[in-house]
Amino acid sequence: MTRKQKRLALILGLLLVLGVATALILSALRNQIVFFFSPSELLTRGDVAGQSIRVGGLVETGTWVKEGENNTFTITDGDKDLKIAFTGILPDLFREGQGIIAEGKLGSDGTFVATNVLAKHDEKYIPKEIEDTLKQEGHWQGQ
Amino acid sequence: MSIELGHFAMVLAFALAAGQAIVGMLFWQRDSVTPILQQASLLTFILVAIAFAALLQAFALSDFSVALVYEYSHSQQPLLFKLTSVWGNHEGSMLLWVLILVIFGAALAVFGRNLPTDLANLTLTVQSAMIAAFSGFILFTSNPFLRLSPAPLEGRDLNPVLQDIGLAIHPPLLYLGYVGLSVCFAFAVAALVSGRIDAAWARWVRPWTLASWMFLTLGIAMGSYWAYYELGWGGWWYWDPVENASFMPWLAATALLHSALVMEKRNALKVWSIFLAIVAFSLSLLGTFLVRSGILTSVHSFASDPTRGIVILAILAVIIGGAFVLFALRANALKAGGVFAPISREGALVLNNLFLATGVVAVFVGTLYPLLLEAMDGQRISVGAPFFNLTFGALMVPLVLLVPFGPYLPWKRADLSGVVQRMVWAMAATLVVWLIVAFTLQSGATLTTLGLLLGTWIVVGAAADILDRIRLGRIPLGESMRRLTGLPRTAWSTAIAHFGLGVSILGIVIVSSFQTENITTLKAGESLEISGYTVTLSGSKTYQGPNYVGDAVGFAIVTPGGSNAEAVSEKRVYTAQRMPSTEAAITNFGFSQLYLAIGDQDESGAWVVRAWFKPYVTLVWIGALIMAAGGLLSLTDRRLRIGAPKPARTRQKAEAA
């Protein structure tokens, strides 16, 4: 191969890999991302059944029911409520009256089946999505 | 020593570094400033060390008149955790960052004595400018030396998640890696300014890249293991933005290690290597910004105020932007290096860099796209494992397939059929091992078997490389053994690091595919079954720890083979802030682990128990340790300690002999 051909082969190889990588990233960005909603946003949308999403809100006092490893509770953004079912161990700082994020899918009966629940890590830390939602809905009590 | 002395030392360090940077920028061409810059670097190191020691002392003595000590420490903590609390918060961790920056500055002053004048002066100048920027950031926005009056009697204690030996190991190692890349960055800027970009440059940068890469490898692996055992979620990698922030510099540093090889041996890929050195440190800074600015939510975000984020962003923009402008202005002036055929050692290393670089881009997009989208139209999304597996994972498959070929290929041009002939035994061995595994698993061409094939291929390929080099079976055994002891250390370090990569891949594939999980509630005496293991809850008791009250739940484990083991999982409440925390019970069985986490106890006295069986999970981290060992071995190579490179002709002759 001549010098020119060698260089051409290298450049074509580079372009091929870059093209494949771009295609992969774009298709993954379309299909593999998870949207975050507040209960009100979620309930006004009809197109989310069976899709993996994240919801966030405050756990309503008096709604947490625990039967062994099965938990149900209701979260609210002050406007709409959403019932959540979760099997497993809730985070150490999961409490009623506090902000949480649940990841999972909305079932056909209107209950959100969570595969993972995130809560505050410590007294100062609150998931940013929750803080924003609370501020948006006018329920924010922090600084 | 008082905290005020520390504060004063920090102010002096800031002023000294700023002065040093100005002197360096004005007079970098002069021989006479080199000793001044070197002395200043050593002095800055001493000053920051004094500042850091003052803070360590305040924490050790629980001096709650210091605001930081009050906020993040408790008098009943064990001494080790008092000391590690120093960097368990924003201000202290930034001070640790700067401490490591000055350590590298001092190391550059000590080990850079045989550098040519312009490179020695410029690297020290760039380093001191960064020290000035970050110590200024500490003094003006994140001062750890502030007093409280009146002094509280007791501290607020550290977040329980951080009260662990992991905090003593993970941040310092990771910072050594992050900040070590600042030296590579300084070399890149120095090369662009002075125009001295040649094979010798690659040789000078190599030990710094190797050391940073090694620390990053260890730091990331340690962070992963810490998250795994401490958070109680049983996962070892979440594609969390902060994890990605440490992973991107690692990928870039890995690429730089390989491209610098081509630059050193063949004088090619010069512009690209310089670019990578800038990118690698930019990604480190980006990581610092993402973690410290509080724009991301994760276990790493400490309470933060937005002005800090803006200041870090400004520092970032100046450092990265300045470097790229310089790069754009000077890169054209570089002459292209030696040519090579696509099928050659250089060609393989170019492909390595291509895949690693596109891998960085994939991770970068996945990490920053949610932030961008939210800033643009308020849409909140998260990008999780499925995205990264599909993009990054897919890009790594061809790279991993190519890894064993690299060391077999000669420089300049290679005869592919000859190389394949030499590798045929490795290929056959891989195929046999893989067929046995696939047959026992009763599965065909699935992702799992593909992953196992790739992992086995790298492990076998690394071993075969060594066997090929000693010509085992082709020359008398004694002769082979003589060659074995005479192999250059770089041959060993390459094989060891690649072997470690294979081990990690095998661990990742096996644990991802075959782990099992069981969630249930158990009373004392009841048991659960998981992967043939019987786990019986033997009882629980409450006890008083130094700064917490703990519930210890004991488990008796019977293995499938009939032997017995015991494990204790804990639930603790840290008294200062009534903060709960859980400690999982993790028991090793060979390379596999049984992971038991407990939840709350209900009214009937039963505990929620979540059990995982994690087959061969420890290989994930053992592989990383092996990779780092390969890096360490390469760092001891004699070639790196000799300053100026020998002329190319005699070196080639020496290698051929």
* Average pLDDT of the segment spanning A111-128: 69
Q: B383 and chain A: CB distance < 8 Å anywhere? A: yes
Q: Are A127 and A61 part of one and the same domain?
A: yes
Range of the domain at B603: 517-614
Neighbours of B234 (CB within 10 A): 20
Q: How far is B393 from chain A (nearest CA, A)?
A: 10
Q: Are B5 and B152 part of one and the same domain?
A: yes
For B393, the closest chain A residue by CA position comes to: A24
The answer, yes or no, to whether residue B270 has pLDDT greater than 80, is yes
Q: Which two tokens stand for residue B195?
A: 């125009």
Query: In which residue are the tokens 């410029």 written?
Result: B122
Q: How far is A54 from chain B (nearest CA, A)?
A: 8
Instruction: Determine whether the interchain pair A35/B380 forms a contact, defined as Cβ–Cβ distance below 8 Å.
Output: yes
Helix (H, G, I), strand (E, B) or coil at B341: coil
Residue B651's pLDDT is: 45
Quote the ipTM score: 0.80
Residue A127's pLDDT is: 55
Residues in chain B with CB shorter than 8 Å from the CB of A27 are 390
Q: How confident is the model at residue B363 (pLDDT cuts 50, 70, 90)?
A: very high
Q: Are A28 and A40 part of one and the same domain?
A: no
What is the tens place of the pLDDT at every residue in B332-353? 776 666 677 778 888 889 889 9
Residue B335's pLDDT is: 65
| B610: nearest CB among A35, A89, A92 | A89
The answer, yes or no, to whether residue B296 has pLDDT greater than 90, is no
Q: Are A104 and A63 part of one and the same domain?
A: yes
The answer, yes or no, to whether residue B173 has pLDDT greater than 50, is yes
Residue B448: partners with Cβ closer than 8 Å, 6 or more residues away: B441, B509, B513
Residue B438's pLDDT is: 78
Question: Within a domain: residue B292?
Answer: no
Residues in chain A with CB shorter than 8 Å from the CB of B349 are none
What's the domain count of chain A? 2
The answer, yes or no, to whether residue A62 has pLDDT greater than 80, is yes
Query: In which residue are the tokens 């002939």 written?
Result: B421
Please give the single-letter amino acid code of residue B569. S
Single out the residue in B140, B161, B182 at which a domain terminates.
B161
Q: Are A96 and A50 part of one and the same domain?
A: yes
Question: Within a domain: residue B462?
Answer: yes
What is the percent of chain A where pLDDT is above 90? 10
Q: Are B528 and B472 part of one and the same domain?
A: no
DSSP letters along B346-366, please?
A: HHHHHHHHHHHHHHHHHHHHH
Q: Are B449 and B545 part of one and the same domain?
A: no
Q: Are B444 and B526 part of one and the same domain?
A: no
Q: Are B7 and B137 part of one and the same domain?
A: yes
Q: How far is A108 from chain B (nearest CA, A)?
A: 23
For B348, the closest chain A residue by CA position comes to: A10
> Residue B461 burial (CB < 10 Å; 0-12/13-18/19+)?
buried
Q: How confident is the model at residue B541 (pLDDT cuts 50, 70, 90)?
A: very high
Helix (H, G, I), strand (E, B) or coil at B342: coil
Residues in chain A with CB shorter than 8 Å from the CB of B522 are none
Q: Are B447 and B571 part of one and the same domain?
A: no
How many Å apart are CA B453 and CA B455, to the nearest integer?
6
Question: Within a domain: residue A42?
Answer: yes
Q: Are A73 and A128 part of one and the same domain?
A: yes
* Average pLDDT of the segment spanning A5-29: 84
The answer, yes or no, to whether residue B298 has pLDDT greater than 70, is no
Q: How confident is the model at residue B537 (pLDDT cuts 50, 70, 90)?
A: very high
Q: Are A7 and A42 part of one and the same domain?
A: no
Q: Are B537 and B473 part of one and the same domain?
A: no
Range of the domain at A17: 1-33
Residue A9: partners with Cβ closer than 8 Å, 6 or more residues away: A1, B342
Instruction: Determine whether the interchain pair B342/A88 forms a contact, defined as Cβ–Cβ distance below 8 Å.
Output: no
Q: Are B474 and B445 part of one and the same domain?
A: yes
Q: Which of residues 232-291 of B touch A (CB under 8 A)?
A: 232
Q: How confident is the model at residue B646 (pLDDT cuts 50, 70, 90)?
A: very low
Question: Within a domain: residue B212?
Answer: no
Q: Are A57 and A3 part of one and the same domain?
A: no
The answer, yes or no, to whether residue B469 has pLDDT greater than 90, is no
> Can you give the CATH number for the domain in which B38 is found?
1.20.120
Q: What is the mean pLDDT of chain B?
A: 88
Instruction: Determine whether the interchain pair B580/A92 forms a contact, defined as Cβ–Cβ distance below 8 Å.
Output: yes
Residue A7: partners with Cβ closer than 8 Å, 6 or more residues away: B339
Instruction: Determine whether the interchain pair A69/B521 forms a contact, defined as Cβ–Cβ distance below 8 Å.
Output: yes
Residues in chain A with CB shorter than 8 Å from the CB of B342 are 6, 9-10, 13
* Range list of β-strands (E), A2-140: 33-37, 53-59, 65-67, 70-76, 81-87, 99-106, 112-118
Q: Are A113 and A126 part of one and the same domain?
A: yes
How many CB pairs (< 8 A) connect A and B?
120
For A2, the closest chain B residue by CA position comes to: B341
- Global pTM reads 0.91
Nearest residue to A21 (alpha-carbon basis) of B364, B281, B454: B364
Q: Are A82 and A117 part of one and the same domain?
A: yes
Cβ atoms of B248 and B239 within 8 Å: the answer is: no
What's the domain count of chain B? 3
Residue B647's pLDDT is: 44
Residues in chain A with CB shorter than 8 Å from the CB of B391 are 21, 24-25, 28
What is the percent of chain B where pLDDT is above 90? 58
Q: Are A27 and A48 part of one and the same domain?
A: no
Instruction: Determine whether the interchain pair A13/B354 forms a contact, defined as Cβ–Cβ distance below 8 Å.
Output: yes
Q: Are B465 and B537 part of one and the same domain?
A: no
What is the tens place of the pLDDT at every residue in B198-217? 888 998 999 999 999 999 99
Residue B24's pLDDT is: 95
Q: Of A116-125, B151-160, B481-490, where does mean pLDDT reach its minimum?
A: A116-125
Question: Within a domain: residue A40?
Answer: yes
The answer, yes or no, to whether residue B159 has pLDDT greater than 90, is no
Q: Are B86 and B149 part of one and the same domain?
A: yes
Instruction: Determine whether the interchain pair A24/B362 forms a contact, defined as Cβ–Cβ distance below 8 Å.
Output: yes
Residue A1's pLDDT is: 61
Q: How confident is the model at residue B655 (pLDDT cuts 50, 70, 90)?
A: very low
Q: How confident is the model at residue B534 (pLDDT cuts 50, 70, 90)?
A: very high
Single out the residue in B514, B542, B565 at which a domain terminates.
B514
Residue B418's pLDDT is: 84
Residues in chain B with CB shorter than 8 Å from the CB of A88 are 519, 599, 608, 610
Helix (H, G, I), strand (E, B) or coil at B613: strand
> Can you give the CATH number for the domain in which A124 is found?
2.40.50.140
| A32: nearest CB among B295, B386, B521 | B386
Q: Are A88 and A107 part of one and the same domain?
A: yes
What is the tens place of the pLDDT at every residue in A84-106? 999 888 887 788 887 788 889 88
* Of B602 and B52, more confident: B52
Question: Within a domain: residue B191?
Answer: no
Q: Which two tokens stand for residue A28?
A: 């993954």
Q: Are B509 and B594 part of one and the same domain?
A: no
For A133, the closest chain B residue by CA position comes to: B380
Cβ atoms of A134 and A122 within 8 Å: the answer is: no
Question: Within a domain: residue A142?
Answer: no
Single out the residue in B488, B514, B540 at which a domain terminates.
B514
Q: Of B134-148, B361-375, B505-519, where does mean pLDDT reach its minimum?
A: B361-375
The answer, yes or no, to whether residue A120 has pLDDT greater than 90, is no
Residue B653's pLDDT is: 44
Q: Are B559 and B464 part of one and the same domain?
A: no
User: What are the start-end ranges of the H helices in B378-415?
Assistant: 385-388, 394-402
* Average pLDDT of the segment spanning B207-230: 94
Q: Are A53 and A5 part of one and the same domain?
A: no
Q: Select from B156, B251, B350, B358 the residue whose CB has the most chain A CBs within 10 Å, as the one to mutate to test that interface.
A: B358
How many Å apart are CA B237 and CA B232, to the nearest integer?
13
Cβ atoms of A103 and A54 within 8 Å: the answer is: yes
Residue B644's pLDDT is: 47
